[in-house]
Structure 1
């Protein structure tokens, strides 16, 4: 039986508040990013989770595990301060989101290149046809 662990981290990323949903199933982690806009209240976050959590678009999975929760709140606070000071919040989920952004950027680059080449080929065919029409006798 597989266990699913989920975590939501809400943080401020200039100029909006962002939520990162992390989901771990059998050692594979997936992440989804949601922009809240203004600072959400606890009730708004809870309502969002209840209404929209099942419709989130998760990015491609990445190998990794969510960190274990420690019981001591002072230790958790120190670990959180250490993580945010060094790498930012949710590094593996941020890596998953960055990987998805990079993939979409490469796909967009390829499609625009193909579109540009097709347009050049169309213009070249038009020019050559026009040139042949001019030299055609009556």
Structure 2
């Protein structure tokens, strides 16, 4: 049975310091990912509650091209592959690349904003100095 449309994989794993969730959304041959830090180990109920309440607020990374795997028709093979994937419990490399790309874009946007704020502050200081000089010249 082949499923059409987008699919999602929600992986929760311990990264050595925190419990982290990685959500991989696959639409056709494109993958986008989101990253969530839980802190303490979430229970199954907390993970389900997160999916129900916060799914719409997730910021997914830009889409990355990925090759689609051909699914095996054998249900036992699919079951073994699912068990292997569950035991591994780490996000795919493509998901990590997508999250890194999103971080780079956020960093570039933040740099542009801070540069604009610096320019604006500099212009404001310049205008204050000019007004001071003008007022001094007028004898105020």
- Is the counterpart of residue 73 in structure 1 residue 75 in structure 2? no
TM-score (norm 2): 0.74
Structure 2 residue matching 1:71: 3-state secondary structure: helix
Q: Which runs of 5+ in 2 are unaligned?
A: 72-76
Q: Distance in 2 between matches of 1:17 and 1:7?
A: 16
Deviations 1:75-100 (A, max 9, x none): 9649x76xx8xxx6321111111111
Q: Distance in 1 between matches of 2:32 and 2:82?
A: 26
Question: 93-102 or 53-62, which moves further after superposition?
Answer: 53-62
Q: Which residue of 1 aligns with 2:91?
A: 89
Deviations 1:4-61 (A, max 9, x none): 1211111112421111111111211111112222112334323433444344332222
For the structure 1 residues 75 and 103, does the alpha-carbon distance in structure 2 shift closer, same or farther, using more than 3 Å as the test?
A: closer
Q: Which residue of 2 aligns with 1:27?
A: 29
Q: Which residue of 2 aligns with 1:42?
A: 44
Q: Distance in 1 between matches of 2:7 and 2:68?
A: 8
Aligned residues: 132
Q: Which of 3, 6, 9 lines up with 1:4 in the alignment?
A: 6
| CA RMSD across the alignment | 3.1
Deviation at 1:103, TM superposition (A): 0.9
Q: Which residue of 2 aligns with 1:120?
A: 122
For the structure 1 residues 16 and 49, does the alpha-carbon distance in structure 2 shift closer, same or farther, using more than 3 Å as the test?
A: same
